Chains A and B, each alone.
Chain A
Amino acid sequence: DAEITQSPRHKITETGRQVTLACHQTWNHNNMFWYRQDLGHGLRLIHYSYGVQDTNKGEVSDGYSVSRSNTEDLPLTLESAASSQTSVYFCASSESMGIGGDTQYFGPGTRLTVL
């Protein structure tokens, strides 16, 4: 069965360190997204990609970067981790920008703690 996985599931790091969260999907979807989930804010979009070599900033992109070198993976990098980036991070994918492709499939999440 197709799926979307994230690793690690839990990560504790220190302020100032670079951290990379992995996201891998086997749906063969063109679109991939990174969200962070914080209490009272729901899900906020960090970065997204509509295909290989395409990346775009979301509403809370400062301090984060992504790269898309293949269809399956969209790693999220925190350049210099800050305590404000302590959160649960979700990766998602969808098939296309058309009407039928609007359903997003989510990974299980990565809980990141920055000390």
Chain B
Amino acid sequence: AQSVTQLDSQVPVFEEAPVELRCNYSSSVSVYLFWYVQYPNQGLQLLLKYLSGSTLVKGINGFEAEFNKSQTSFHLRKPSVHISDTAEYFCAVRYSSASKIIFGSGTRLSIRP
């Protein structure tokens, strides 16, 4: 079955520390991958996306993600987080054989001063 898994429901990290949020999807020949961010009491907004080409994708607010086909992963990273990065992060995938996007269950990033 087509699915996307975010292994960590919560990730606490200190301010200015690096962070990695993990995302894995079920194997497929061709996928399109997304990270969305949801700030408190707001809707989701696109952080970055991978459609094709370079496997390292840079997004807004200093985030980047790397597409790893052999490990079917699309982990999100930031070298130094800020208090303002406190939010919930959703990984999403669209399989080339499907028309809809599937969202992961989300990872809540909490930043400690």
Chain A residues with CB under 8 Å of chain B are 4, 35, 40-45, 48, 58, 90, 92, 97, 99, 102-109
| A39 → chain B closest CB, angstroms | 9
Q: How many residues of B contact A (CB 8 A)?
A: 23
- 1/0 per residue B1-16: CB within 8 Å of A? 0000010010000000
| Contact present for B45 and A106 (CB under 8 Å) | yes
- Main DSSP-derived SS at the B contact region: loop
**Which A residues are in CB contact (< 8 Å) with B6?**
42
Report the Cα distance A58→B99, complex, angstroms.
11
What residues of B have a CB within 8 angstroms of the CB of A92 in the complex?
43-44
Pairwise interchain contact A97-B45, C-beta atoms closer than 8 A: no
Q: Chain B residues with Cβ under 8 A from A58's Cβ?
A: 100
Q: B residues 74-113 with Cβ under 8 Å of A? A: 90, 94, 99-101, 103-106
Cα–Cα, bound, A97→B100 (Å): 9
**What are the 3 closest A-B residue pairs judged by CB atoms, nearest first?**
A106-B43, A42-B105, A43-B103
* Contact status of A109 and B43, CB under 8 A, knowing A43-B90, A99-B32: yes
For the A-B complex with A102-B94, A107-B43 known, give 4 more contacts whose Cβ atoms are closer than 8 Å. A42-B103, A43-B103, A92-B43, A109-B43
